[in-house]
Structure 1
């Protein structure tokens, strides 16, 4: 494939990424935040590994979250799921493009599979969260433990995706093009999932002590 055609594909995918990121971040109406709700988001984000990304992402939903650790965790799970789905679709499309060497193509397919597993684990987490109710402390702890396990597994799958891709061969066009896209998408998904895991852990700590 000619370099000009390849870069045209890359430009198209970058446009798709921007559109997907916009749709992934909109899981419902975003309301104007107030000071107390925004402070809760900022304080919560300080306990994560990526406080700036966290605040930029979740401050839009501060009125919906309303200073509630449970709402913070559930909103985070939904955002992580949407973002991971978006990344999976983008990388699946990219894996079907011509011009990839065999090692890169295989690594990219493995990455898509790992992200697909992460999607399933996040879906299970959301379903379990909707079933958790405080009152039966033993059942609550069991369900929250499941959620912690699944979100941790999703994060591991995302890390594995990046590790496998990093070991693929390096080629000048591929390295500047689709590898940048893959790393950017997977890095964002991994960081968001890490933030959500921190929120889930905080919710568990707040309700079981």
Structure 2
């Protein structure tokens, strides 16, 4: 009987917390339906919604703000991954091939940070650009984000082969795969914004 009352109490508490969380988010008026519908066209919609919903108040219904936020989130994740990979280069006991792969990956992450920074800067300064001017700026953004995604995949390619299997590869791969998914989504949202003009 005590077990049942404990379960009922836990159920009541979890129900209360869920209701409170839901009403708190609706009290702020942060509607995520625009983000959810926009993310449905990305390669990783669940990751997209998860990483962008926190910014619903800033994004509102703006495709440009959505693209900008997606790029900013991607840049932030890439910077923390670059820091993580940098720490891995200092790890004791790395085999020479592992060290080379980690070092190459660090360089790729550095390039990614640079390209994502450029794309955010370019998107920020599109302003009232129209016609060919808008297309030129958007082409730059799309090129840099595509190149950033290529850099991330190149980092992962450096760890291919059984010889590099292990904790170093697994931990870096987990970080970089997440960054690549977020960057892929950002590219899809940038392309979607570009196509609306």
- Pairs within 5 Å for 1:2-41: 32=25, 37-41=31-35
Counterpart in the other structure of 2:136: 142
Residues 1:186 and 2:176 are matched in the alignment: yes
1:135: how far off? 4.4
Separation (CA, whole Å) in 1 of partners of 2:122 and 2:163: 40
Once residues 143 and 168 of structure 1 are traced to their aligned partners in structure 2, the CA distance between those partners, rounded to angstroms, is: 42
Partner-residue secondary structure (3-state), 2:31: helix
Q: Tell me whether 1:170 sits opposite 2:164 in the alignment.
A: yes
Asked if the contact 1:70/1:203 (under 8 Å) is kept, the reply is yes
Unaligned runs of 5+ in 2: 1-23
Partner of 2:117: 123
Paired position in structure 1 for 2:92:
98
Unaligned runs of 5+ in 1: 1-30
Task: Quote the residue 1:72 is aligned against.
Answer: 66
Corresponding residue of 1:9: none
Distance in 2 between residues matched to 1:64 and 1:149, nearest whole Å: 26
SS at match of 1:132: coil
So what's the TM-score if we normalise by structure 2?
Answer: 0.83
Please name the residue that 2:186 is paired with. 196
Query: What's the secondary structure of 1:37's corresponding residue?
Result: coil
Larger radius of gyration: 2
Please state whether the residue corresponding to 2:163 is helix, strand or coil: coil
Q: Which residue of 1 aligns with 2:153?
A: 159
Task: Report the RMSD for the aligned CA atoms in angstroms.
Answer: 1.8
Q: Distance in 2 between matches of 1:82 and 1:138?
A: 30
Distance 1:52 1:65, change over 3 A: same
Taking a change above 3 Å as real, the CA distance of residues 40 and 96 of structure 1, as seen in their structure-2 partners, is same
What's 2:195 paired with?
A: 205
Tell me, in whole angstroms, the C-alpha distance in 2 between the residues paired with 1:184 and 1:202: 27
Secondary structure of the corresponding residue to residue 91 of structure 2: coil
Per-residue deviation, 1:168: 6.8
Q: TM-score, normalised by structure 1?
A: 0.78
